[in-house]
Structure 1
Amino acid sequence: MNNKLAVVILAAGEGTRMKSAMPKVLHSLLGRPLLRWVLSSVDTLKPARVCVVIGHRAEEVRQALKDDAITFVEQKQQFGSGHALAQAAGALKNFQGDILVLCGDTPLISGATLKNLYAHHRKCKNSATILSAGMSNPFGYGRICRAGSGMVAGIVEEKDADDSQKKITEINSGIYCFSSPLIWSVLKKIRPDNKKKEYYLTDAIEILNAQGCRTDACCIPSVDETLGVNTRLDLAGAENVARQRALEKLMLSGVTVINPATVSVSFDAKIGRDTVIYPDTIIEGATVIGEGCAIGPGSFIRNSVIGDSVEVRSSYIYDSIVAAGAKIGPFSHLRPGTKLGEAVKVGNFSEVKKSVIGAGSKINHLSYVGDSKVGKGVNIGAGTITCNYDGFHKNETVIDDRVFVGSNVNLVAPVRVGRDAILGAGSTITDDVPPRMLAIARARQVNKTRKKI
């Protein structure tokens, strides 16, 4: 832990341009809230304290991060970035060291860049260091105004910039490192003397300069890292960058991604080498996929564990565990709570829900298996249904090892079928079937002579 570093993340804004009832910082990017991306990058610095300034729909943000070691401070009314940071003064006024300040809507900032900023700040013994970036079209961003010495003279916002200042291409990322406790006295001197009548944190730079303090900017080559998310268009652009980073990381680790432009993989997913991800595939959450798998085309997997050498073709899998060698699809659906053993086959238009399927068993066609325990080496015929819901409760079906279930069989739960039994095609099984028995539960066929027409 770095006892000389504290972090403040500004996450109080309403984000009106998102046109959303949800707090902006909770919008998802590759399965993670925007604020979670910022926190993950901050964690690499191992700060002594992390404060998050919340405001709009504060309780929702608090609940989303309730398991994190975070100090929340509330900005009840939003009067600008300087006012937002000042809300953390009570929590950090006695902190001796440096304060790293970030916005909660800059998800692409990397831990490496933050480390470089902090190292530059410490090495140069600055009172304030700004993370800046070069941008060919800087419209909408605050401009870094440098003095003849090369140090930062001030920052001017787009709405307050004159024509010459608007030509400056070095922009303010909104990420700073300040010396503490100095910054808290500086914030008290900021005045809302601007068109928006807000307390700009950027004004702290001019105040520090007037006090003879050293202010500087650490310029990075990639503007992508500094991009803020203010609209749905910004969110889509940030997701494209994050998705490309995730796919590049996978491909460099030995995963083949065919037509990457059509594939989306969560940054938290782990995929083994020699696995091939086919087009139009989405992998979300903390999914783990083993080595030598074939995933897709057209598959969706969320928060699941997939073993080695598994095939998933044009299928959906949620919160499930699939053992090595299983084959799923095309057009299969594994719902939460499903566990497939080794070499299990779940074929076209079959659905499995909250069930355990033993090794080597097959559910090849047009079947529904729910709330069931299926043993090893079982064959589930086409059109089989476990009738698990009686209108009030979900009931369990148990099918022991090596049972052969004929086509179009209904198993009305609760019911148990013993090992090595056979269920005749078209049967509706309402009673337990002992081991090694043949059960037929259907009306006898009667052939009658047709009347002449």
Structure 2
Amino acid sequence: TGRAVEMAVEALPSSFVGDVLVLNGDVPLLDADTLRDAVAAHRTTGTAATLLTTLLDEPHGYGRIIRDDHGTVDRIVEHKDATTVELEVNEVNAGIYVFASAPLRATVTRLTQDNSQGEKYLTDVVGLLRGQQLTVSASRVSPSWKVEGINDRAQLAQAAAHLNALIIRGWQLAGVTIVDPGTTWIDLQVTLGLDVEVKPGTQLLGATTIDERAVIGPDTTLVDTEVGAGAVIKRTDATLAVIGEGANVGPFSYLRPGTYLGADGKIGTFVETKNATIGAGSKVPHLSYIGDAEIGEQSNIGAGTIVANYDGVNKHRTTVGSHVRSGSHNVFVAPVTIGDGAYSGAGTVIRKDVPAGALAVNVAPQRNMDGWVVANRPGTAAAEAASRSSDSGASNSPAQN
């Protein structure tokens, strides 16, 4: 850090006479108020430098603040260079400084690499300033987590968990119900309305916004997703989706980017959507894939419906009108349009446009081949069951004269 600050000072205009604020890049929980307070304290005291310190129960790895008999900051000793006595000190350097530019310019060039790590320590500037009879003050930060550094992924996870706890508490105090803070994750950019309820196992990430009275979870992940007032979303994964007011999503729904679900609409169990607009009051309740499609208002898509949007080369769109009723296990082969108020029968494969109000069916007539199992699968459990059923039916038939 000493060489880095030396280069930064060289880049400053020679006419610059202000203060220089130096920050470590691995202190993610440092807040603006703490920095403002440090700058204000520095300018009030008029010292050559002001550094931030904190008290740690386990200060391993941190530079120690060494004070003189009057309690004034005398120097900073890096952990690897500290004596046994100095290691007992639990006031540590937070790595954040405010320097008056003139003494910093004059001193930073005097840094040497005469230490255990062969580096230019910025911390040595403090001792050099004191050697010139200049005053160095310290501003102690509490709580210490604000200035704790990150040196490994374990510390990174701890800092992230602490920030998440602060975010959750803030939303709780703002009128959001979070049932289990320990299993809930909320990013800093997320916005929640009054009386939103977040159930266990939920992650709200990115720029997700949730309007008032919505219920989210359990076991739900929303990324950059907009949720309308009063919507209910459970056991769902959604990214870049818009879910309307009063809508119902889940369980086990997968909303991919470009999904728009209208007010009071439904995306149900084991349904996947992508680049799809589903109008107000329309429902896709079960076991379906709706991709590159537009569905009007108050339509119902039968269980097991698949939008076949890809021909092996290009994606095509499907348009379904309002008040449509499609049967179970349909396939819409895009590009295709189904008009308002149309119906389709179960098992229908729709390859051609369906006019408004029409019934689309293309299932072949059912043919029953009596005795096929006994003749073609003799000795199987199915054949034996069929034989017993046939014998029972024959014995119960009216006697023939």
- Judge same fold: TM > 0.5, yes or no: yes
For 2:40, what is the secondary structure of its paired residue? helix
Q: Deviations over 1:306-357 (max 9, x none)?
A: 1111111111010111111011000001001111110111111011111111
Q: Deviations over 1:342-391 (max 9, x none)?
A: 01111110111111110000010001000111110110110000001111
2:280, 2:298 within 8 Å by CA — same for their partners in 1? yes
The one of 274, 277, 283 aligned to 2:198: 277
Report the counterpart of residue 187 of structure 2 in structure 1: 266
- 1:300 is matched by which residue type in structure 2? T
Distance in 1 of aligned mates of 2:19 and 2:310: 60
The one of 85, 89, 92 aligned to 2:5: 85
State TM-score, norm by structure 2: 0.91
Deviation, 1:177, is 0.8
| Residue 336 (structure 1) aligned with residue 257 (structure 2) | yes
For 1:379, what is the secondary structure of its paired residue? coil
Report the counterpart of residue 405 of structure 1 in structure 2: 326
Aligned CA-pair RMSD: 1.2
| Structure showing greater Rg | 2
Q: Deviations over 1:196-246 (max 9, x none)?
A: 010000001111112222211100121111111111111111011111011
| Residue 234 (structure 1) aligned with residue 155 (structure 2) | yes
Between 1:389-398 and 1:148-157, the stretch displaced more is 148-157
Taking the TM superposition and a 5 Å limit, the aligned residue runs for 1:7-406 are 81-94=1-14, 95-406=16-327
Deviation, 1:115, is 1.2
- 2:4 is matched by which residue type in structure 1? A
Distance in 1 of aligned mates of 2:7 and 2:171: 41
Between 1:339-348 and 1:85-94, the stretch displaced more is 85-94
2:141, 2:147 within 8 Å by CA — same for their partners in 1? no
The runs of at least 4 aligned residues of structure 1 exceeding 3 Å deviation read none
Deviation, 1:448, is 3.1
Deviation, 1:181, is 4.1
Give the number of the structure with larger relative contact order, counting CA–CA contacts within 8 Å between residues 6 or more apart: 1
Deviation, 1:162, is 0.5
Distance in 2 of aligned mates of 1:90 and 1:333: 54
Deviation, 1:118, is 1.1
For 1:176, what is the secondary structure of its paired residue? strand
Distance in 2 of aligned mates of 1:372 and 1:186: 68
State TM-score, norm by structure 1: 0.81
In structure 2, relative to structure 1, the CA distance for the partners of 1:167 and 1:447 (3 Å cut) is same
Q: How many residues align?
A: 373
2:320, 2:339 within 8 Å by CA — same for their partners in 1? yes
Distance in 1 of aligned mates of 2:365 and 2:42: 87
2:103, 2:129 within 8 Å by CA — same for their partners in 1? no
Report the counterpart of residue 440 of structure 1 in structure 2: 361
Distance in 2 of aligned mates of 1:252 and 1:230: 32
For 1:380, what is the secondary structure of its paired residue? coil
Q: Deviations over 1:172-208 (max 9, x none)?
A: 0111111124323321010111000100000011111
For 1:87, what is the secondary structure of its paired residue? helix
Distance in 2 of aligned mates of 1:87 and 1:302: 41
Identity within the alignment, %? 39
Which stretches in structure 1 are left out of the alignment for 5+ residues?
1-80
Deviation, 1:267, is 1.1
For 1:112, what is the secondary structure of its paired residue? helix
Report the counterpart of residue 36 of structure 1 in structure 2: none
In structure 2, relative to structure 1, the CA distance for the partners of 1:181 and 1:440 (3 Å cut) is farther
